Amino acid sequence: MINDTLPEDFVYGIDIGTRSVIGVVGYRDENGGFVVYRMASRFHSSRAMIDGQIHDIAAVSATIKEVTKELEEKIGRELKNVCIAAAGRVLETISVKAEIDLKKEAEEVPRVLGDYITEGDLRELNMLAVQQAYEKIRDNSGNEKFNFYCVSSNIVKYYLNGDLMLSLLGHKIGLIAAQVIATFLPGEVVDGLYSAVNGAGLTAVSLTLEPVAAITAAIPQKFRMLNLALVDVGAGTSDICITKEGSVIAYGMIPIAGDELTMAIVDKYLVDFDTAEAIKMQAQAGKEEIEYNDVMMLPMKTSANEVIALLKPLMDSAAKAVAEEIKRLNGGKSVAAVFIVGGGGKFTEFARKLAEILEIPAERAALRGKEVLGNVSFKQEDIEKDSILVTPIGICENYFEQKNSIIYVQLNGKLVRLYDNGRRNVADVIVAAQYPAEDIFPKRGKDKLVMVDGREAVIHALPGDSAKIFVNGESANVSHSIKQGDEIRIIPSTYGGYEELSEELADRDYYEIEEYEDEDDMAENVSAGLKVRNPDAADLKERDQKAAGLKVRDPKASDLVKASEDVHIMVTVNDTKIELSGKKEYRVVDILDYYEIDITTPTGKAFILKKNGEDAEFINELKDGDIVEMHWQ
């Protein structure tokens, strides 16, 4: 086991493909290059994934476990966190332009960091653009409850006071704007990935798209000024992205890839899927004689040429579909060159046909592996620089470059999406996940109304314990800061018991008015832990009642005591009177049940929350007459 050269800030990335899982452990060296320290891969034992989407979570988890275990043995360390990528099978891409008038804001609220544009300003601009994209895509879906996750956002262009800029950082503040491409995936796709990773005992700390990962490794920033296409041909999907003028301008996908070819071999040679995969890979390698056993277990032979001839119509069809998608994404025009990566695109015939349809020179559409991994070095000597490594290495590199304005955490095993403003805490997660507020704060049951010596009295209910909160296994509270990938566990708050009677009076006679109306109903009061006896035998004096902690009431009162009733309070929220009822005590968070405001979706720079003119938190107690201010600013 070798671990002396692996730094503490290493990263673990896995490419969860339709046919296999590839894991890479690596780090960045002092020159910014990426070092692959160790790598491992496994094929799925069954067809657990189809067209890039997980169908059998347990089976995929098992494969991830095997890869992780092998890498742990190789590096001599435990792996807990992992970076992942989603295939673009059902992605939605939206382009929006967002703007912020920093100069106007500075006139209203003085800036702490001066009159120059900061990285914080740019993060806020990107976050605003992502939010606008999210609202747009949700509106387009026609279903406000439909859940999307933003897995990538890229700045296409910057503007300052209307003028196009390459960068805004350090410029004098003014009207800043950005054209942003944000890419979203349906919630069930992302949830499936997270479930598979969690099932393998890992926590996902980074999520991106496979084409984004591939382009991170394959096309350096300096070449993105050119109008290029990258095609990641996997087993189930072919993911596509387009670069131009220094940015990624579009993403796309077609559900045609290597499995289409494999299935043709299955049908032609009457073999199972795994045998067909082996035949395909030998044909890709140009093997003249390929031996296999068919379904009757008869030894058979074929050749690379014969297999390629069988697959050529399918490859031509796939190349046509990819070319059409490239042109659609590129505004109806061809591109200058195409980078092909992934295991499904290794046949040179596919690249030739793609170049022909796009009307570019044949050498401008080519499979790229070691050619685009020049800035990558390998500590594991038996690794061959191959096109199938581009995406997993890109997943790792993307971890170092990511500037996501959205983070993902887990609350009791459920994925929660949050916009990251750098100040998120457990309370934000509770609100975003719509976790019941009553399960956070101590619960108090109803007071017991009893009859003692012919007079009404109250045994008060006591508050229980607050919720127990853990972040990554460590005890925490609602103000605890959270970050990408954190795991939060909440054990709900509990109900308390009741006031204890003194030993002198614990066995004296009384009965509970609300629950028992005649002697036949007398029984042991389990909840209070006290015995109910015939009231005629009761002879407690008033002083004894007080000593027992019982509050004496007027025996003529026909209604229930105030202590056992729910409390109604009236508060003012943003100049609107709101009546709260149904509880005995209230917190600021309870306002959200009565007043409509979206606190999880930023529509401004910061969320303002004040009570009676002072900064407040959602956990603060709320009293009758309080004045609350809550809004985005």
* Beta carbons of 190 and 107 less than 8 angstroms apart: no
Instruction: Please check whether residue 24 is in contact with residue 12, taking contact to mean a CB–CB distance below 8 angstroms.
Output: yes
Q: How confident is the model at residue 116 (pLDDT cuts 50, 70, 90)?
A: confident
> Under 8 Å CB-to-CB from 5, ≥6 apart: which residues?
37, 379
> Taking 50 as the threshold, does the pLDDT of residue 544 lie above it?
no
Q: 562, 597, 617: which is the final residue of a domain? A: 562
Instruction: Look at the chain and report how many structural domains it folds into.
Output: 4
How far apart, in whole angstroms, are the C-alpha atoms of residue 466 and residue 462?
Answer: 12
CA atoms in the 13 A half-sphere facing the CB of 505: 20
Q: Is the pLDDT of residue 177 over 90?
A: yes
Residue scoring higher pLDDT (504 or 36): 36
Top pLDDT among 529 and 116 is at: 116
Give the Cα separation of 329 and 333 in Å (integer). 9
Residue 155 is predicted with a pLDDT of 81
Residue 76 phi, psi dihedral angles, 5° rounding: 70, 25
Q: Which candidate, 379, 376, 381, places its Cα nearest to that of 5?
A: 379
Q: Is residue 496 within 8 Å of 463, Cβ to Cβ?
A: yes
The confidence score (pLDDT) of residue 465 equals: 83
Residues 598 and 541 in one domain: no
Q: Establish if 415 belongs to a structural domain.
A: no
How do residues 249-269 score in pLDDT, each as one tens digit? 887 888 888 888 989 999 999
pLDDT computed for residue 69 by the predictor: 95
Q: Which tokens is 467 given?
A: 């919720």
pLDDT category at 336 given cuts 50, 70, 90 is very high
Alpha carbon 174 to chain centroid, angstroms:
33
CA distance 495 to 497: 7
Domain presence at residue 192: no
Of all residues in the chain, the percent with pLDDT exceeding 70 is: 81
Q: Mark whether 339 and 277 lie in a shared domain.
A: yes
- The domain of 596 spans 567-632
CB 407 within 8 A of CB 424: yes
Same domain, 349 and 269: yes
CATH for 327: 3.30.420.40
Q: Given this model, what pLDDT does residue 359 score?
A: 94
Q: Are residues 449 and 577 in the same domain?
A: no
pTM of the model: 0.58
In the predicted model, is pLDDT for residue 397 greater than 60?
A: yes
Residue 554 covered by a domain: yes
User: Higher pLDDT residue, 395 or 545?
Assistant: 395
The better pLDDT of the pair 6, 107 is held by: 6
501 pLDDT more than 60: no
The answer to whether residues 558 and 571 belong to one domain is no
Say if 39 falls within a structural domain: no
Residue 526 predicted with pLDDT over 60: no
Closest to 194 measured CA to CA, from 482, 400, 467, 410: 410
Residue 143, pLDDT score: 58
No. of H helices and E strands in the chain? 12, 39
Both structure tokens of 374: 């020049």
Least confident of 59-73, 258-272, 284-298, 438-452: 438-452
Q: Residue 462: is its pLDDT beyond 50?
A: yes
- Do residue 361 and residue 227 come from a single domain? yes
Q: Which of 44, 134, 51 is nearest to 88 (CA)?
A: 51
> For strand 406-411 and strand 376-378, is the pairing parallel, antiparallel, or unpaired?
unpaired
- Residue 186 pLDDT exceeds 80: no
User: Residue 22: which pLDDT band, with cuts at 50, 70 and 90?
Assistant: very high
Indicate whether 376 belongs to any domain.
no
> Which of 150, 180, 210 lies at the terminal end of a domain, its last residue?
180
Confidence of residue 223 (pLDDT cuts 50, 70, 90): confident
Residue 510: pLDDT band (50, 70, 90) is low
Same domain for 225 and 336, yes or no, is yes
**Whole-number average pLDDT of the chain:** 78
226 and 282 share one domain: yes
- For residue 380, tell me if it sits in a domain: no
- Over residues 215-240, mean pLDDT: 83
State mean pLDDT over 342-346. 78
pLDDT higher than threshold 50 for residue 609 = yes
Instruction: Give the number of other Cβ atoms within 10 Å of residue 441's Cβ.
Output: 21
Please answer whether residues 610 and 616 qualify as being in contact, where contact means their C-beta atoms are separated by less than 8 angstroms. Answer: yes
Q: Is the same domain home to 235 and 362?
A: yes
Closest to 230 (Cα-Cα) out of 221, 238, 241: 241
Whether 140 is covered by a domain: the verdict is: yes
- Residue 145: pLDDT band (50, 70, 90) is low
What tokens were used for 602?
A: 């930023």
Paired sense of beta strands 524-525 and 607-611, if any: unpaired
Among residues 514, 543, 562, the one where a domain terminates is 562
Alpha carbon distance 404, 220 (integer Å)? 19
Considering 96-100, 513-517, 578-582, the range whose residues carry the highest mean pLDDT is 96-100
144 plus 226 within the same structural domain? no
- Say if 51 falls within a structural domain: no
Query: Lowest mean pLDDT: which of 85-99, 225-239, 478-492?
Result: 85-99
Would you put residue 522 in left (φ > 0), alpha (ψ -120 to 50) or beta?
A: beta
Determine the average pLDDT of the residues in 549-562: 39
| CATH number for the domain that contains residue 613 | 3.10.20.30
Long-range contacts of 356-361 (CB under 8 A, 24+ apart): 356/319, 357/319, 357/320, 357/323, 358/323, 358/326, 358/327, 358/334, 359/334, 360/334, 360/335, 360/336
Confidence of residue 92 (pLDDT cuts 50, 70, 90): confident
Could you tell me if 236 and 299 lie in one domain? yes
| Phi, psi at 32, each rounded to 5° | 90, 0
The string of DSSP letters for 133-175 reads HHHHHHHHHT-TT--EEEEEEEEEEEEETTEEES--TTSBPSE
- What CATH number is associated with residue 131? 3.30.1490
- Residues 153 and 267 placed together within one structural domain of the fold: no
pLDDT at 424: 75
Separation CA 407–CA 420 (nearest Å): 6
The pLDDT tens digits for 404-452 are: 455 778 899 887 877 565 667 887 788 777 788 778 877 777 777 766 6
